[in-house]
Structure 1
Amino acid sequence: MTTTSPGPKPDYGDAWLQHLRIAVLRSLGDCKGQTGHESLLTDMVNAVHIMADRDQVREQLAWLHEQELVIAEVSRGALVATLTEAGQWVAEGKRTHPGVKRPNVTAAVARQALSIALDQLKR
């Protein structure tokens, strides 16, 4: 009897990082002025079940800054990030970027429809 090796195991850590990065970009897109504080972004990514602590979000903000998808600056001892145009394109699924998960475009359309519906309810 012979057994075959299942092949290399997937790197779940890398997949998690890609999900965290797109969650951060999309969260920034939802923030007023497309700018957010590391603490707020941590809460926002946790709200969509990408469980990350503040240090992990800070590390990914630095990575996204290196990739020119955000502008990250220290303000009052905390990291504040602003979405760049390239980052917005990636967040909206209009462009791909290595190391960032492509967003679910269907979910983006559903989010937009929900936003429009909520705006109409507010009137």
Structure 2
Amino acid sequence: MTATDRLEINVLFSKLARLLDEKRWDDAHTVFDRDISISSPRNGEIDGLDEFVTAMRSADDPQVRTQHLTAGLLVELDGDKAAASANSVTYFFRDGEAPFRTAGLKLDCVAVRTPAGWRLRESRTTLLWLRED
């Protein structure tokens, strides 16, 4: 793995957090491959970029915001494919208020090199813990 690959995959995880926090669903193609396969406790099983965008738009509560903090990224490169995992703490809140829910997550992903750069092809989110305030 080159330093450039590692940096690009690290940036990809940061872009994922921002995409989710800022609800920029039209930019999902900058993070996910068109054939993305997603498994998450919140949205279940999703196949394909269009299905992801539709699911996120339909589940959106404009009053609820999130802040995803991702750390401990580990990447194993195998040519134009990489297995990547990280931990994430996600805060759910309303503007100007303390979080009402906090979740600890484990992210297991497969990234692929595309002509447009690294993109996530598989994303598996596991809920490790949940605190409701």
Both structures adopt the same fold (TM-score exceeding 0.5): no
- Comparing both structures, which one devotes a greater share of its residues to strand? 2
TM-score interval w.r.t. the shorter chain?
A: 0.3 to 0.5
Higher Rg of the two aligned structures: 1
Give me the TM-score of the superposition, normalised by structure 1: 0.33
TM-score calculated relative to the size of structure 2: 0.31
